[in-house]
Amino acid sequence: MEVKRITCRTAIEAGALQAWLEDAGIKSLIYDETNSKVARGILDQTVDVMVNEEDFERATAIYEELLKN
């Protein structure tokens, strides 16, 4: 099983996405914010939400809907 990443702009946005995914029955994991920042650079505030590959399309659609609200 492969894991895919959705990159959110902030930790708050990642938390909201994780809640929306849970409501849709999609399991997700917020990638460790500290490791994410070290890998990208301290000034980058993005946070990754990890989902299973089979849920990636639905999760991406949910993220796009979240951004509209």
Query: Which residues are CB-neighbours of 39 under 8 A, at least 6 positions away?
Result: none
Task: State which residues form the domain around 7.
Answer: 3-68
pLDDT reported for residue 10: 86
Statement: the pTM of the whole predicted model exceeds 0.75 = yes
End-to-end CA distance of the chain: 31
**pLDDT tens sequence for the chain (69 residues):** 699 999 998 888 999 999 999 999 999 999 865 555 555 555 667 889 999 999 999 999 999 999 998
In terms of residues, how long is the chain? 69
Total domains present in the chain: 1
What are the distances in angstroms from CA 63 to CA 20, 41, 42, 50?
8, 24, 24, 12
What CATH number has the domain bearing residue 21?
3.30.70.1530
